[in-house]
Chain A
Amino acid sequence: MTEPPPPPSHDEGAERIEGIERRWAMVGIGVLLVLVVVAAFAGIHQAAMPQSRVEIVDPLRLHLSGEFIDSNLGSAVEPDGSVTVRAIGQEYSFTPSCILVPRDTPITFRATSADVVHGFLIDGTDINLMLVPGYISSLRARFETLGERYMPCHEFCGTGHEGMWGRIKVVDKAVFAQMAAGAKRVSCVK
């Protein structure tokens, strides 16, 4: 049996611990920096940005005047060729319950709620808004693929929440132009 090595002196131990602490601090700061960069990149380049403009509307008077009266809901063709879609969420349906939009066209969604908080989400896209009573939610989008998508309300809004979902149909530009020719507002509600 040999003698065990003498225990390190006080100064030696403190130095070693300080070194370990410094290395872990570097790792921690590195992780933080990576997360900040990832969040900033995803926020600016990939995900939908939070709305920059605050617009308000009286939820109890949507049907009386302003842009959310029944006859003004649906898709409208703007002078610049883009399409504005206006919709409302209420217990327990979206109006219009089927939204029609053309492919490869800039679309602006403008929506609000007539009663409680509802969710406005289009499956297979990054379109995901909250419809808050009193505020107008707006978002720009563009659809590349044709077909029908679902719009489930994804904020629990009451006892009939599970029955609240709408449809959005992306059609060819020419088909949309044909349908929009005769009417000022179009939808695919039958």
Chain B
Amino acid sequence: MNREWAAILRSKWFPASVGITAALAIAGLLVGFVVLPLADRNEQFHSVWDAICSAAGLIQNAAREPVVQANYPTTRVELTPRMLRGASAESIGRGATLALRCTMCHGARGLSEANTPNLAGQYAVVIYKQLMDFKTGARVSAVMAPLVGDLSDQDMRDLAAYYAYLPRVPASRPAGEPPQIVASGAPLRSIAPCGACHGELASKPGAAWLEGQPFDYLRTQLQDFASGARRNDIGEQMRNVARGMTVAEIDAASRFYAGLRGPTGSQADASSKQH
């Protein structure tokens, strides 16, 4: 072995091959870390060292001018896919006691007699987020605002756990295919299907379970999202969709989720007159 090494080291090819390899490596490093970053028209680096650090993947958030703040309250809730899972029996029990103040409108077991939302079986994340938004004023309601003012964060978590625990309204799905806006949306007008987030096809954290909600409530919310009267949706995710929906589509989606049959008929007309 030693004799082989000695022969290799003595060879005139040894320094040449090592030198060529080293030169290639240095040239590659110079091109990758200095030449190409400095040639990038997307970035202006202050120094060669800055360019080298950026090319090496060092995280450097650029300093930016102050951001424009909204002149209305925005939602402060951070949604994660796993939040509020696995509520304890104690939390559900506390929620049931707290829910006594909600029964007037939302029913004794979370099933509304009026045109207020049915809360039984709603996702806990949805209840929690809406309660928080009512409290911070991100979602405006003259009825809800005074009722949530004294709720603590834990109170809202308990209420969410309780309503998520209650059995849902019995499915009263109208016969036949769901309307096109629910099943496939309107891709040519940049509208994803309702079901892509609201549980028919897939679920998105924070998107409500809509089946069995009152027609009037659903239609009002879609109209408010479209007009901008309601703006507590994170990143305008509902406003972007509702703005593009036609009156007929808003009607069809609300009727479908409310469990009403067919296109706009006497029932919808009657309920709209109640307004």
Within 8 A of A (CB), among B184-235: 185-187, 190-193, 195-197, 201-202, 204, 231, 234-235
Please tell me if the beta carbons of A88 and B235 are within 8 angstroms of each other in the complex.
Answer: yes
Known A-B contacts A52-B54, A163-B192; the reply to A69 vs B76 at CB < 8 A is no
Please tell me if the beta carbons of A139 and B236 are within 8 angstroms of each other in the complex.
Answer: no
C-alpha spacing A77/B220, complex, angstroms: 37
Within 8 A of A (CB), among B22-70: 36-37, 39-43, 45, 51, 54-55, 57-62, 64, 67-70
Within 8 A of B (CB), among A65-92: 66-67, 69-72, 76, 88, 90-92
Query: Which residues of B lie under 8 Å from residue A72 when comparing CB positions?
Result: 67-69
Please tell me if the beta carbons of A52 and B55 are within 8 angstroms of each other in the complex.
Answer: yes
C-alpha spacing A140/B204, complex, angstroms: 33
A93 at the interface (CB under 8 A from B): yes
Please tell me if the beta carbons of A44 and B39 are within 8 angstroms of each other in the complex.
Answer: yes
Query: Which residues of A lie under 8 Å from residue B51 when comparing CB positions?
Result: 52
A49 at the interface (CB under 8 A from B): yes
Chain B residue with minimal CB distance to A65?
Answer: B67
A17 at the interface (CB under 8 A from B): no
A173 at the interface (CB under 8 A from B): no
Which of B11-19, B117-125, B237-245 sits within the interface? B237-245
Please tell me if the beta carbons of A71 and B70 are within 8 angstroms of each other in the complex.
Answer: yes
Please tell me if the beta carbons of B236 and A185 are within 8 angstroms of each other in the complex.
Answer: no
C-alpha spacing A44/B32, complex, angstroms: 12
Please tell me if the beta carbons of A63 and B42 are within 8 angstroms of each other in the complex.
Answer: no
Chain B residue with minimal CB distance to A190?
Answer: B243
Query: Which one of A56, A90, A93 contacts B61 once the chains associate, using CB atoms below 8 Å?
Result: A56
Cβ of A108 to closest chain B Cβ, rounded Å: 8
Known: A70-B231, A91-B197, A160-B193. 4 other contacts (CB 8 A): A49-B41, A62-B235, A91-B237, A93-B236
Known A-B contacts A51-B42, A54-B58, A138-B42; the reply to A163 vs B187 at CB < 8 A is yes
Q: List 13 A-B contacts (CB under 8 A).
A: A48-B42, A49-B36, A52-B51, A52-B54, A64-B76, A91-B192, A91-B237, A93-B236, A95-B236, A95-B237, A97-B236, A163-B196, A166-B190
A25 at the interface (CB under 8 A from B): no
A159 at the interface (CB under 8 A from B): yes
A22 at the interface (CB under 8 A from B): no
Query: Which residues of A lie under 8 Å from residue B243 when comparing CB positions?
Result: 97, 189-190
Q: Pick from A48, A66, A91, A136 the residue with the most CB of B within 10 Å.
A: A91
B75 at the interface (CB under 8 A from A): yes
Please tell me if the beta carbons of A53 and B62 are within 8 angstroms of each other in the complex.
Answer: yes
Please tell me if the beta carbons of B40 and A49 are within 8 angstroms of each other in the complex.
Answer: yes
Please tell me if the beta carbons of B196 and A165 are within 8 angstroms of each other in the complex.
Answer: no
Please tell me if the beta carbons of B43 and A52 are within 8 angstroms of each other in the complex.
Answer: yes
Known A-B contacts A49-B42, A62-B235, A72-B68; the reply to A162 vs B240 at CB < 8 A is no
A144 at the interface (CB under 8 A from B): no
Please tell me if the beta carbons of A162 and B187 are within 8 angstroms of each other in the complex.
Answer: yes
Known A-B contacts A54-B59, A114-B235, A159-B201; the reply to A63 vs B74 at CB < 8 A is yes
Chain A contact-residue range equals: 35 or more
B177 at the interface (CB under 8 A from A): no
Within 8 A of B (CB), among A161-175: 161-166
B78 at the interface (CB under 8 A from A): yes
Chain A residue with minimal CB distance to B72?
Answer: A71
Please tell me if the beta carbons of B196 and A61 are within 8 angstroms of each other in the complex.
Answer: no
Please tell me if the beta carbons of A64 and B201 are within 8 angstroms of each other in the complex.
Answer: no
Query: Which residues of B lie under 8 Å from residue A49 when comparing CB positions?
Result: 36, 39-42
A3 at the interface (CB under 8 A from B): no
Please tell me if the beta carbons of B59 and A55 are within 8 angstroms of each other in the complex.
Answer: yes
C-alpha spacing A98/B58, complex, angstroms: 33
B79 at the interface (CB under 8 A from A): yes
Query: Which residues of A lie under 8 Å from residue B40 when comparing CB positions?
Result: 49, 52
B80 at the interface (CB under 8 A from A): yes
Q: Pick from A51, A71, A94 the residue with the most CB of B within 10 Å.
A: A71
Query: Which one of A95, A115, A136 contacts B240 once the chains associate, using CB atoms below 8 Å?
Result: A95
Known A-B contacts A138-B42, A160-B193; the reply to A185 vs B68 at CB < 8 A is yes
Within 8 A of B (CB), among A122-167: 136, 138-140, 158-166
Please tell me if the beta carbons of A95 and B60 are within 8 angstroms of each other in the complex.
Answer: no
Cβ of B65 to closest chain A Cβ, rounded Å: 8
Chain B proximity mask over A85-113: 1 for CB below 8 Å, otherwise 0: 00010111111110000000000000000
